[in-house]
Chains A and B, each alone.
Chain A
Amino acid sequence: MFDFLAGASDVTKSLFLMVVGVLGTHATLLLFFIMIKVLLKVFTRNADGSTNAEQ
């Protein structure tokens, strides 16, 4: 998958890991953020007592 790093040193690979790891963690938590927002939107009760899921 990372063939372009096949001959690279461990330090180079670790720098690549740092970039992908930091971005990957942010991207995954962004998905969690969107998921929480959607869940809250769907299941929070409106003033009339109904939820968006029920409508």
Chain B
Amino acid sequence: MDKLLVGFYNMDLGQIIMILIGGLLIYLAIKKEYEPMLLLPIGFGTILVNLPLAAVLDYEGAPGVLKILFDAGIQTELFPVLIFVAVGAMIDFTPLFVNPTMLFFGAAAQFGIFATIVVALLFGADDLKVASAIGIIGAADGPTAIFVATKFAQKYLGPITVAAYSYMSLVPIVQPPVVKLLTTKEERMIRMEYTDVKVPKMVKILFPILITIIAGIIAPISVPLVGFLMFGNLIRECGVLERLSQSAQNELANLATILLGITIGSTMRAQDFLQPMTLVILLGGLAAFIFDTAGGVLFAKFLNLFLKKKVNPMVGAAGISAFPMSARVIQRMAQKEDPSNFILMQAVSANVAGQLGSIIAGGLILALVPLLVG
């Protein structure tokens, strides 16, 4: 009889709370459409690993399916890297070639990552590595956050991933108040000229190759991040691998996302998630997005001190990597102030630059933190 009731005997309050959290993530994914491709598998994975005995992780000494997936796909960094190939195949860098100055906004908006590392330490992060994994939520780039967290804070991988994807979907709520606080109405109404330029195909082909080489020389440890993103982009731009490009953008992206999501969910066990550090991670993630936005806007305002043709400082906020949501939010804000103002293309350029900036910042953290920790 005891064997029949083994599930009931092995259930505790923590597991029940986690199952509810899993349900909440599924609700947010389906009802609110907050990053459903990730939050739904994570939510379901959370339920699976918090059921009695967690047979998906380990049963009677044999590794369960989620444990096998975790060891093969997360420990080895395979899944995030596959996602990078897919993301690279989806990115069109043309807006950046038209307006390369926007690269600097993509750099400025990474300020939040580094500022949050300091804040996380002040608020009780275990050490510099854990604080860095919290700060990287500000990359607004899920795979980068997962990649860095896997290296530096594997036990917090679940909450870090959930925070990264949740705040990315909350960009329309997080960014506008910060932008409004830091800009005047006149600044938000600044118009920017946009001239369309035909970008030679050779430039689009050489770009991913040269970026990989430069990044690989500056921060060799960033090559899995930058290299596979650019590999995906090269497949897209070379013009002779249309089938592979489509596969990377669709089948590969979908398969890797399913496996990544449910495997991340397997890290959301009650004993790992229900602890004070989760709160620090969630608040740290929010702080990172706020600092990112502020960094981009303040950098644009600083540039305006010297520029003849002023930049709309809101474009700086689009320098975070949350593409294309951040660019859309900024355009919406600009049109709210002046319905005929169109800064979407500049915002998209900054947003694309943010995708480069975030992986470079991630690469620098991967390179620098081990040197600092010793």
Residues of A with Cβ closer than 8 Å to B? 1-2, 5-6, 10-11, 13-18, 20-22, 24-26, 28-33, 35-37, 39-40, 43-45, 51, 53
Interface digits, B85-121 against A, CB 8 Å rule (1 contact, 0 not)?
0000000000011001101101110110111011001
Stretch of B173-181, B278-286, B305-313, B365-373 lying at the A interface: B365-373
What's the least CB distance linking B244 to chain A, in Å? Answer: 24
Q: Which residues of A contact B203 (CB under 8 A)?
A: 36, 39-40, 43
* Bound: A40/B114 CA distance, A: 32
Decide if the interface of chain A is mainly helix, strand, loop or mixed. helix
Q: Are B122 and A11 in contact (CB under 8 A)?
A: yes
Q: Are A17 and B200 in contact (CB under 8 A)?
A: no
Q: Are A43 and B200 in contact (CB under 8 A)?
A: yes
Q: Which residues of B contact A30 (CB under 8 A)?
A: 103-104
* Bound: A22/B107 CA distance, A: 7
Q: Are B128 and A10 in contact (CB under 8 A)?
A: yes
Q: Are B97 and A40 in contact (CB under 8 A)?
A: yes
What's the least CB distance linking B148 to chain A, in Å? Answer: 12
> Is B374 positioned at the interface, with any CB of A under 8 Å from its CB?
yes
Q: Are A17 and B372 in contact (CB under 8 A)?
A: yes
Most interface-central of B203, B211, B218, B356 (chain A CB within 10 A): B203
Once A25-B361, A29-B106 are accepted as A-B contacts, the answer to whether A2 and B372 lie under 8 Å apart by CB is yes
**Interface size classification for chain B:** 35 or more
What's the least CB distance linking B279 to chain A, in Å? Answer: 19
Which one of B97, B202, B206, B371 contacts A2 once the chains associate, using CB atoms below 8 Å? Answer: B371
Rank and list the top 10 A-B pairs by shortest CB-CB distance, nearest first. A18-B114, A43-B200, A29-B107, A39-B203, A36-B100, A26-B107, A21-B114, A29-B103, A14-B118, A43-B202
Q: Are A11 and B206 in contact (CB under 8 A)?
A: no
Once A36-B96, A37-B100, A43-B200 are accepted as A-B contacts, the answer to whether A28 and B121 lie under 8 Å apart by CB is no
Q: Are B214 and A32 in contact (CB under 8 A)?
A: yes
Q: Are A21 and B121 in contact (CB under 8 A)?
A: no
Residues of B with Cβ closer than 8 Å to A? 96-97, 100-101, 103-104, 106-108, 110-111, 113-115, 117-118, 121-122, 127-128, 131-132, 197, 199-200, 202-203, 206-207, 210-211, 214-215, 218, 353, 356-357, 360-361, 364-365, 368-369, 371-374
Q: Which residues of B contact A2 (CB under 8 A)?
A: 371-372
Q: Are A11 and B118 in contact (CB under 8 A)?
A: yes
Decide if the interface of chain B is mainly helix, strand, loop or mixed. helix
Q: Are A25 and B214 in contact (CB under 8 A)?
A: no
| Smallest CB gap from B119: residue in A | A14
Q: Which residues of B contact A37 (CB under 8 A)?
A: 100
Given contacts A21-B365, A28-B364, A32-B103, 13 further A-B contacts (CB under 8 A): A10-B127, A21-B368, A24-B364, A24-B368, A28-B218, A29-B357, A32-B211, A33-B104, A36-B100, A36-B103, A40-B97, A40-B203, A45-B200
Q: Are A1 and B371 in contact (CB under 8 A)?
A: yes
Once A14-B118, A22-B114 are accepted as A-B contacts, the answer to whether A33 and B368 lie under 8 Å apart by CB is no
| Smallest CB gap from B353: residue in A | A29
Q: Which residues of B contact A31 (CB under 8 A)?
A: 214, 218
Q: Which residues of B contact A6 (CB under 8 A)?
A: 374
Most interface-central of A13, A18, A33 (chain B CB within 10 A): A13
Q: Which residues of B contact A14 (CB under 8 A)?
A: 114, 117-118, 121, 128, 131
What's the least CB distance linking B374 to chain A, in Å? Answer: 7
Q: Which residues of A contact B113 (CB under 8 A)?
A: 21
* Bound: A15/B116 CA distance, A: 10
Most interface-central of B114, B121, B215, B361 (chain A CB within 10 A): B114
